[in-house]
């Protein structure tokens, strides 16, 4: 009996160790300037934060590029990924995963053509009459739906969003202001043609699937601890610069 119990404990220990060393499957989008996908891999401040946090947490991972956030959620529901990063929180995602502590604060901003002087985001007339859009299957798109804006289908790829404006298919689009400026630069558009007005600010973070947490419940705690250390290190680096000013 003792031998049998020892064998069971050994099997359980081996299984737990195997689960612990299994790399996290992490979905990450091409979402400039935060995470920029090139032939040699990812770059950008969001990616740099991700690498630092994962190193601090001591977690191994395999990156799986995804075209958009909707695809990441579907892959998580089908247990093809364990985590997706550079996400904002919403109720639908919270049904299948848990959100981490904030990593980066972003914003959602309205972008519209300056020549359209009648456009005034924030006004009642704008909300009632303006035709707007955002990247399909994104949290921004869901937010527009929930707040009863007049929405038309966006683009699955964030890179095509400005075409909706430039070809007058919509009155305004919504996306993070830094993403808007990165796309303008990448596509060599004339930034002076566009107005950019912030609507809301909110955090980016990690989403860890409930399925994975059922096996490794300490992962989110390890991530959150690493995120806290990441912010502390960033603050320590900024302090001498502030004193020099």
Same structural domain for residues 94 and 115?
no
Whether residue 11 is contained in a domain is answered as: no
| 8 Å CB contact between 82 and 212 | yes
Whether residue 118 is contained in a domain is answered as: yes
CA distance 108 to 131: 17
Which residues have CB under 8 Å from 169's CB, separation 6+? 133, 152, 163
What pTM does this model have? Answer: 0.86
Same structural domain for residues 116 and 70?
no
State the pLDDT at residue 244: 58
34 three-state secondary structure: coil
Q: pLDDT tens track of the chain, all 245 residues?
A: 443 333 333 334 434 443 455 899 999 999 999 999 988 889 999 999 999 999 999 999 999 999 888 889 999 999 999 999 999 999 999 999 999 999 999 999 999 999 999 999 989 999 999 999 999 989 999 999 999 999 998 888 899 999 999 999 999 999 999 999 999 999 999 999 999 999 999 999 999 999 999 999 999 999 999 999 999 999 998 766 655 55
| 8 Å CB contact between 184 and 79 | no
Same structural domain for residues 122 and 62?
no
pLDDT digits (tens, 9 = 90+) for 128-183: 999 999 999 899 999 999 999 999 988 888 999 999 999 999 999 999 999 999 99
Q: From start to end of 30-113, where are the E strands?
A: 36-38, 41-43, 61-66, 83-87, 97-99, 104-113
64 three-state secondary structure: strand
| 8 Å CB contact between 69 and 157 | no
Same structural domain for residues 101 and 112?
no
State the pLDDT at residue 40: 85
In the chain, the number of structural domains is: 2
Same structural domain for residues 194 and 208?
no
Whether residue 7 is contained in a domain is answered as: no
Same structural domain for residues 33 and 95?
yes
Whether residue 10 is contained in a domain is answered as: no
Whether residue 76 is contained in a domain is answered as: yes
Domain extent, residue 216, equals: 21-105+203-244
Same structural domain for residues 198 and 213?
no
DSSP 132-195: EE--TTSHHHHHHHHTT-EE----SSGGGHHHHHHTTS-SEEEE-HHHHHHHHHHTT--GGGEE
- In this structure, the strands spanning 61-66 and 24-29 are parallel
| 8 Å CB contact between 90 and 138 | no
CATH number for the domain harbouring residue 89: 3.40.190.10
Same structural domain for residues 121 and 153?
yes
Same structural domain for residues 114 and 192?
yes
Q: Give the Å distances, CA to CA, from 114 to 32, 41, 99, 149, 194.
A: 23, 36, 37, 21, 5
Whether residue 5 is contained in a domain is answered as: no
Whether residue 8 is contained in a domain is answered as: no
State the pLDDT at residue 241: 61
Same structural domain for residues 113 and 178?
yes
Same structural domain for residues 97 and 120?
no
State the pLDDT at residue 15: 41
């Amino acid at each position: 009996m003792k031998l049998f119990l020892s064998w069971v404990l050994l099997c359980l220990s081996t299984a737990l160790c195997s689960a612990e060393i299994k790399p996290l499957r992490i979905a990450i989008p091409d979402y400039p300037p935060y995470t920029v996908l090139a032939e040699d891999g990812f770059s950008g401040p969001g990616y740099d934060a991700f690498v630092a946090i994962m190193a601090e947490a001591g977690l191994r991972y395999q990156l799986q590029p995804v075209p958009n956030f909707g695809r990441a959620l579907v892959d998580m529901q089908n247990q093809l990924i364990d985590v997706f990063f550079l996400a904002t929180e919403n109720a639908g995602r919270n049904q299948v995963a848990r959100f981490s502590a904030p990593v980066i604060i972003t914003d959602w901003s309205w972008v519209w053509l300056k020549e359209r002087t009648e456009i005034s985001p924030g006004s009642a007339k704008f909300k009632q009459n303006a035709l707007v859009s955002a990247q399909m299957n994104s949290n921004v798109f869901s937010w527009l739906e929930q707040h009863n804006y007049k929405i038309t289908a966006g683009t699955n790829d964030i890179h095509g969003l400005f075409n909706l404006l430039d070809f007058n298919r919509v009155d305004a689009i919504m996306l993070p202001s830094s993403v808007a400026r990165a796309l303008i630069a990448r596509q060599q558009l004339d930034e002076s043609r566009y107005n950019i007005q912030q609507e809301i600010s909110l955090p980016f973070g990690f989403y860890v699937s409930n399925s994975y947490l059922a096996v490794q419940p300490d992962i989110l705690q390890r991530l959150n601890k690493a995120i806290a250390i990441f912010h502390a290190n960033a603050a320590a680096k900024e302090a001498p610069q502030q004193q020099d000013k």
